Structure 1
Amino acid sequence: MSGNFPKAVLNTLFVVAGITSAGSLLADTLVNDPLFIAGSYKCTGYDSHDGAFKGDLTFAVDDRVSNFAQGFGAYKFKLEVPLDGATATYSGIAAAQGHLLAMYFANDSQSAATDRGVGITVVSRDQDNKGQYSTTLHKSYYLPDYMGGGRGTETCVKIAGS
């Protein structure tokens, strides 16, 4: 066969090569967090004791124990909330199975030993009319010891590009 390939064959080869490259790039991105949870978020919520609040949330994948082939992700997170003129920082861990997150968190301040709790979060990933995706976390939480017990809700929207 000579070095002259039919144009249709060359076009097919270019398309396949392009798809393979794009698929490889997408796969590399998804390997780090195929559940799309890791990143930075802006949050709003309501706590039964503290009332309405806003905060900044950051999630990071714990690669050591995540098993994305089985739909399981392990994460560490930090939430910073302005409260009473200072910033309260809550650190925590989360286990994701598909679109559900189980979360444990605690106020990092030594003086807030009873400000800790558990939450359940539904993760939604939606596409807008421009084809852009966004991730939103819808959390309900329970604080068994904080001020005699409390609860709250929180919605966090992932910041584009994070």
Structure 2
Amino acid sequence: MTQTDHEKRMACPRMAAGALFFNDQGHVLLVRPSYKPKWEIPGGYIEAGESPLAACRREVREELGITPAIGPLLVVDWAPNEAEGDKVLYVFDGGQLPPDAVRAIKLDTLELLAVEYHPAEAVDQLLIPRLARRVHHAIAARQRSHPQYLEHGAPPRVAGGDLS
């Protein structure tokens, strides 16, 4: 069976999902991957047939060894990459982790070197720029209780304003 012209034009993006967790001071939980130079948020790629929320829960469980409640969607970001093609990235609200959940964290040491809380002001230095923008917008979306659509980590410009 051959693909039709229409099927060839349909997007088949890679998708990933992650969560923002906070402490009582409003600092963001970041993880240090063993395979990248910069910090990340907990999360990873969505598997075939898996929802973004289910992937987020699975990745948090695999990376951190905990199963906290994952709250609402904060941002969805269309962020294609030259090397990987189209990408759609979801960030969910992990809320404030209670101290017992933090103590229960067991890192996947094959994938992660560290987990630490950092103030929101520090993410620009710790994360790649597009992820830093995404995290700032996710924090703002959480404060407003209003999810946000992004492109490359920023609200797109549309006729008559923006989508934020």
TM-score by length of 1: 0.32
* Larger helix proportion of the pair: 2
Point out which structure has higher relative CO (alpha carbons under 8 A, 6+ apart).
2
* Larger strand proportion of the pair: 1
TM-score by length of 2: 0.32
Larger Rg: 1
